[in-house]
Structure formats: structure tokens, C-alpha cells
Structure 1
Amino acid sequence: MENLPSSSQLIIDEPLRRWLPEASVRFQYLYPEIELTIDGDIVRFAGKNAGDPRVKREFQFCLYRQKIFEQTLPMRKMLIEGVTGNAGRTS
């Protein structure tokens, strides 16, 4: 049996859509063999093993990771500034 390309799709809830661009870049870097297209709230995966449920799980992980990164960035900056004494400086 040939290993034919497969596909799947994932619907992204509205509150998470703002992180789609960054999450898709990270996912495509980690999984270059999977073709990713975004159409509104639908993310489509195509290519070898794109139908594997782990593909959706990995994309969701990239999405949540980006969300957490952006939401905690101000706190991390304040922590670093407090520890280093470089409050108000920009790099």
C-alpha cells in the first residue's frame, strides 16, 4: 500500500485566532512536511501523515504556547527589570 498524502482540518475558536499567524510559523518550522493553510477560523493540514491526530494536537500546542508566551511577556519583563535593576530601559 502506498503512503498517500492525507489531510485534516481544525476549527479555531475566535478567542485564539489572534495567535494563528505566529503559531503557524512555528508549526511550519517544526513540521515542514505538512502543508498548512488558514482560511478564517479553519486550519487545513495536507501532506504525508497530515491525517494523524498528533498533527492537530501539535498545532494546538503551538497555538497555546504562543498565547501563553504573549500573555506572560509583560510579567517576565517586569521580573527581569526588578532583578537586574534596569527598569525603564529598552534593548
Structure 2
Amino acid sequence: MENLPSSSQLIIDQLLMRWLPDASVRFQYLYPELELNIDGNIVRFTGTNAGDPRVKQEFQFCLYRQKIFEQTLPMREMLIEGVTGVAGRTS
């Protein structure tokens, strides 16, 4: 039996919309075989195995990972500056 294209969709909470563009870029890099279509707060997945529940799980992981990365970036920068004594390093 061959793998036929399938589709599924995920509704993104409004509180997470800020991180949707960056998360979708990362997801597309990790899963190039799936087509991603974003319409407002609805993300549609199309392609082989797009109906697999793990696809939604992986996309949500990318979304939360981006949120955590952005929210903790200032704290990580301050920690590095405190340890190295170098502020605002560009290289």
C-alpha cells in the first residue's frame, strides 16, 4: 500500500501567534516533505503522513521552543555578559 497525501490542521491560540512565523520556518526546515499553509490562526499540513498526530505535536514543539527561546534570550545574554564581563559583543 502506497503512502497517499493526507492533510490535517491545527488551530493556534492567539497568545502564541507572535511566534508562529519563526516556528513555521523551523518546522519547514525539519519536515520539507510536508506543505505548510497558514491562514490566520489555522495551520494546515499537507503531504505524506500529514494526518499523523505526531505532525501536530512536532509543530507545537517548534512553536513552544521558539516562544521559550525568545523569552529567555535577554536572561541568557545578561548571564553571558556577567560571566565574561563583555557587554554588547558583536562577533
TM-score category, normalised to shorter length: over 0.9
Structure-2 residue corresponding to 1:74: 74
Structure-2 residue corresponding to 1:2: 2
The one-letter amino acid paired with 1:80 is I
The gaps in structure 2 that reach 5 residues or longer are none
CA RMSD for the aligned pairs? 0.8
TM-fit CA distance, 1:2: 3.0
In structure 2, C-alpha distance between the alignment counterparts of 1:45 and 1:86, rounded to whole Å: 44
TM-score (norm 1): 0.96
Q: Which runs of 4+ in 1 moved over 2 A?
A: none
Identity of aligned residues (%): 83
- Number of residues paired by the alignment? 90
TM-fit CA distance, 1:3: 1.6
Q: Matched residue of 2:2: which SS? A: coil
TM-score (norm 2): 0.96
In structure 1, C-alpha distance between the alignment counterparts of 2:49 and 2:8, rounded to whole Å: 10
